[in-house]
Amino acid sequence: MNEAVDLAVEFAGLKLANPVFTASGTCGYADELADFIDVNKLGGFITKSITLKPRKGNPPQRGVETDSGMLNAIGLANIGVENFIAEKVPLIEKMTVPVFVNVAGSTIDEYVTVAEKLARQKAIAGIELNISCPNVSKGGITFGTDPMQVNEITSMVKKAVGEKVLMVKLSPCVTDISITARAAVEGGANALSLVNTFTAMVVDIETGRPALANKTGGLSGPAIKPIAVYLVNKVYNEVAKAANVPIMGLGGIRTASDAIEFIIAGATAVAVGTATFIDPTSAVKITEGIRKYCTRKNKSIKELVGSLQV
C-alpha cells in the first residue's frame, strides 16, 4: 500500500492502524456492516452492549429524530453473553482489528460475571464498561454518575478482566465529568470513552405524551458534538493527560473534521456512532479524511492528540 502518512496510533497498549472505531450500539455484534465496509479497515470495533442474560429491550417507539440528532431508548436489547460467545465470538475471531465488547448490567456481580467470561476469549482486546446507559431502570447510568460506585465497579471489573484493556464509558449527565473520570482511572481503567448520550425527551404535542415509550432517551448525533468535544478536552486536561490514560472520543462525529476536533481536544482514538446510521460507510470515509488532513498538515496522530493551542 502506498500511503502518504501513517495513521497508526497506540491506544492503551493496543496498536491501531488508525484511530477510528465504530461506536457501541451502532455497528452490531461483529459482521453486520460487512455488506458496506471492510471492518478490518477500521482502527477497531466496539460491539453493542452485552448483558448476562438476553434482553428483549424496550417496547416501541424506541427512536425519534431531533434537530441535528436523534433520541434512542433501545433498552440494551441483546442476545446475552452466552449466546454472544457461542455465535458472535467466532466471527470476531476472523477480524484482524482490536475488538472491544461493551458490557452492561444491573448489579456489580453481573458486570463482573460477564467481564470474566469475555476475558477468557482470546479474540477480544478489551471491555468497554457501559456505566452510562440512560435507558434502563436499573444499573447503567446510576453506576456512572456516583464516583464511589464508578470506582468500585471499575476496580472489580478490572480484577475480572486481568490483562485485557478496560475502557470505561462515561456519562455526560454529571455535574463534573472529571470527578467520574478520576474515579474510573483510580479504579484501574486503562482507557476512558466519552461521551455516552445525553438523557433527553421529545414531547408529541398531539398526544401530549413523550414520543418514546421509555419516556426519555439518549440524545446523539451532530447536536451533541460541541459539548462532547468540550468534555473530552476537560477530561484530557484535568485527568487523562497526567494519568497517561487514553481517551476514546465520541459524540456526534459525522465527518473527518469532526473526528480531528476530538483528537486535537485530547482524544487518542474516536468512535463513529449515529453517522453510521446515516451512511454505513461513514467510519471508513472519516479515516480517509483524517489521512488527507494528516498528509496536508504533515502530522502524525500522536502529534495531534491534545495539541489544542490555547
- Comparing CB distances to another protein, the nearer of 66 and 142 is 66
Catalytic residue among 27, 133, 173, 294: 133
CA triple 111-200-99, angle to 5 deg = 35
* Minimum distance of another protein from residue 68's CB (angstroms): 5
Grid cell locating 104:
452492561
Q: How far is the CB of 7 from another protein (least distance, A)?
A: 18
Whose grid coordinates read 441535528? 68
Regarding 197 and contact with another protein (CB under 8 A), the answer is: no
Residues 241-280 that bind another protein (CB under 8 A): 274, 276-280
Residues 18-57 that bind another protein (CB under 8 A): 25-28, 32-33, 35-36, 38, 40, 48, 56-57
**Binding of residue 74 to another protein (CB under 8 A):** yes
Q: Which three cell numbers stand for residue 174?
A: 454529571
> Smallest Cα–Cα separation from 146: which of 167, 115, 110, 170?
170
- The yes or no reply on residue 164 touching another protein (CB under 8 A) is no
Residue number with CB closer to another protein (117 or 225): 225
Cell 445525553 belongs to residue: 198
Q: Which of 221, 249, 266, 306 binds another protein (CB under 8 A)?
A: 221
Residues in the chain: 310
Q: With contact defined as beta carbons under 8 Å apart, do 131 and 90 qualify? A: no
**CA atoms of 277 and 112, how far apart (whole Å):** 31
Give 190 or 276: the residue with its C-beta nearer to another protein: 276
- The gap between the terminal CA atoms of the chain, to the nearest Å, is 37
Note if the bond before 195 is cis, omega within 30 degrees. Answer: yes
| Shortest distance (Å) from residue 154 CB to another protein | 27
Beta strands in 87-176 (DSSP E): 99-103, 126-130, 165-169
* Count of residues of this chain found to bind another protein when the rule CB under 8 A is applied: 38
For position 288 contacting another protein by CB under 8 A, the verdict is no
**Cβ closest to another protein, residue 68 vs residue 295:** 68
Q: Is 133 a catalytic residue?
A: yes
Radius of gyration of the chain (CA): 18
| Residue (179 or 201) nearer to another protein, CB | 201
Report yes or no: 169 and 235 within 8 Å, Cβ to Cβ. no
Question: Contact residues for another protein (CB under 8 A)?
Answer: 25-28, 32-33, 35-36, 38, 40, 48, 56-70, 72, 74, 77, 221-222, 274, 276-281
Enzyme catalytic residues: 133
